[in-house]
Amino acid sequence: MRADDGHPAGHMVRRLTLFDSIMLVVTGTIGPSIFIVPADVFRAVPNPGIAMLLWIAAGGITLLAGLACAELGAMFPEAGGQYVFMREAYGKFTAFLYGWVLFTAGNSAALASMGIAVALFLGQAVPSLDAERVLYAKTIFGLHLTIKLGGVIAVGSVIILTAINLRSIKVAAWIQNSTALVYLVAVLVIVAVGFLWGHGSWSHFTWQPQAGLASITAAGIGVAMIPLFYSYDGWEYLSWVGGEIKDPRRNLPRALIFGIFLVIVTYLSANAVFLYALAPMQLAHTTTPGAEAMGILFSADVGRWLAFFIALISFGSASVVVLGGARIYYSMAKDGAFFRGMKTLHPRWNTPVTSLVAQCAWVCVLILSSSYDELYTCFIFMMTLTYAMTVGAVLILRRTQPDRPRPYRCFGYPWLPIIYLVVASGFVLSTLFTKPFESLEGLGFACLGVPLYFYWRRQKSV
């Protein structure tokens, strides 16, 4: 039996090109944070030179993880990415816990927050679509139920993106490509026009200690690195769709490396033009550095267009999460470690239909119940830990599977992976100490999946 595009039914089809893959890295990583995080960095480290170096350092550390993931992705070019890497390196139980955390909270809560971001910024661009507008409010059995326009728009965004991903991965890739290109071109135009004709000052790049700004300390640098690392999060989604990338043994490593480089350059360019518009003290005392910088460089009226632009970026980023997450759950179901229906592929479109629909339904529940924010906070520690485990898998598999073909070998092995593990371990411990309650709650929630794991394993053996 064949699907309507001529490919065998019941199998994922490799439709993503190298360009699609690079744009997926860009869209998955770059989100609205670039218009907010610069203020967080300058509050912790007000020195312009050091702040820019920290953006480079965070990008470099991310690239170290990308190099390791590139080796693993070329070794296991199949759907599931990090889930598959952990299954091979640490065993099925650890891999299941990773996937369980993603579905119940990590990935689903992130997707819910992106849908809310679409609604919030769209409401700023079009006042009639104000996200806080209450559509329905009623008390039922002592529980106060409130439905706001923002929640409806967020749910609608997730449903639309799920429907697109159900129909065709190429259409979903087209959305991601378009979003990434619009973003990159817009940043290029903003930087060029801002420096040539904008109302800024080069003196902002010179460090001048001032009252009201924090002194530069090692603790401040550590605080600044936290939002920086999260700004670079999202590149790993590419490994999740490894089963649908053309010539993955070559294109997956290339896309990861080129994509992360492109993100680093984009972030540095955006920060440079923000600093040209606003002095370090101004950046440190604003909550919307992107909007204020655009207002000073060009016009106060640009804020509405910027909000619409951020809504578009959030929509594209959400598309990547919809696309990638469903492949994790599909791979788990194939291994007999999740609901069996999750491994179902659409007979015509070769997309993981049940996995996509289940993901959509759960995310909509999180949005309407407003519980996504608390869940995501609880799993910051868990998600940070998974990055360290992914890089550690390179070291483990070099020893346990030395004869497996490696079309790409991690550059700088073993020292660069070890450097990343040292940095990531420090970040994991820092997260554990600064957010002990949330970290332990995340660990406890992960353990709730243990009985289900053994149930599904027994069902598979039967």
How confident is the prediction for the chain on average, in pLDDT? 83
CB atoms within 10 A of CB 409: 15
How sure is the predictor about 385, in pLDDT bands with cuts at 50, 70 and 90? confident
Angle CA 104–108–111, to nearest 5: 170
pLDDT at 374: 63
pLDDT at 9: 46
Above 80 in pLDDT, residue 442? no
Q: What tokens were used for 67?
A: 């190099």
Q: What is the DSSP string of 105-141?
A: IIHHHHHHHHHHHHHHHHHHHSGGG-TT-EEEEEEET
Q: What's the rounded mean pLDDT across residues 330-352?
A: 84
Map tokens 């996504």 to a residue.
372
> Which structural domains are found in the chain, ordered by start?
18-461 (1.20.1740.10)
Above 50 in pLDDT, residue 272? yes
Q: Mind listing the pLDDT tens digit for each residue in 283-309?
A: 888 877 887 888 888 776 777 788 888
pLDDT at 395: 94
d(CA 94, CA 76): 17
pLDDT at 394: 95
d(CA 446, CA 375): 12
pLDDT at 433: 78
How sure is the predictor about 376, in pLDDT bands with cuts at 50, 70 and 90? low
d(CA 441, CA 378): 6
Above 50 in pLDDT, residue 4? no
Higher pLDDT, 372 or 434: 434
d(CA 379, CA 100): 12
Above 90 in pLDDT, residue 359? yes
Burial 45-65 (b: 16+ CB within 10 A, else e): bbbbebbbebbebbbebbbbb
Q: Mind listing the pLDDT tens digit for each residue in 196-228?
A: 887 888 888 887 766 555 566 777 787 788 788
Above 80 in pLDDT, residue 353? yes
Q: What tokens were used for 208?
A: 């001048």
Q: What's the rounded mean pLDDT across residues 367-379?
A: 69
d(CA 27, CA 172): 12
d(CA 165, CA 343): 16
pLDDT at 238: 85
Indicate the SS3 state at residue 1. coil
d(CA 363, CA 355): 12
Above 70 in pLDDT, residue 29? yes
pLDDT at 8: 47
Please state the pTM of the whole predicted model: 0.84
- % the chain with pLDDT above 90: 21
d(CA 18, CA 30): 18
Q: What tokens were used for 242?
A: 């490894």
Cα-flanking dihedrals φ and ψ of residue 45, to 5°? -135, 95
Q: Which helix H or strand E contains 394, and what residues bound it? A: helix 380-400
pLDDT at 373: 61
pLDDT at 6: 45
Q: What's the rounded mean pLDDT across residues 171-200?
A: 84
pLDDT at 215: 65
The type of residue at 389 is M
In this structure, are residues 347 and 9 in contact, taking their beta carbons and an 8 Å threshold?
yes
Above 70 in pLDDT, residue 32? yes
Above 70 in pLDDT, residue 341? yes
Of 241-245, 291-295, 336-340, 371-375, where does mean pLDDT reach its minimum?
371-375
Give Cβ neighbours of residue 152 (< 8 Å, ≥ 6 apart): 119, 135
Above 80 in pLDDT, residue 47? yes
Q: Mind listing the pLDDT tens digit for each residue in 113-162?
A: 888 888 888 888 888 888 778 787 777 666 677 778 888 999 999 999 99
Query: C-alpha 90: how far from its chain's center?
Result: 24
In this structure, are residues 329 and 453 in contact, taking their beta carbons and an 8 Å threshold?
no
Higher pLDDT, 387 or 168: 387
Above 90 in pLDDT, residue 361? yes
Q: What tokens were used for 120?
A: 């919030």
pLDDT at 372: 57
Q: Mind listing the pLDDT tens digit for each residue in 49-90?
A: 899 999 999 999 999 999 999 999 889 888 788 899 999 999
Cα-flanking dihedrals φ and ψ of residue 206, to 5°? -95, 130
Q: What's the rounded mean pLDDT across residues 242-249?
A: 84
247: left (phi over 0), alpha (psi -120 to 50) or beta: left
Q: What is the DSSP string of 333-376?
A: HHTTSS-GGGG---TTT-S-HHHHHHHHHHHHHHHHHT-HHHHH
Give me the residues paired with residue 16 across strands: 245
Q: What is the DSSP string of 188-219?
A: HHHHHHHHHHSS--GGGGS----TTSPPP-HH
pLDDT at 156: 94
CA distances from 353 to 165, 169, 190 (A): 9, 12, 40
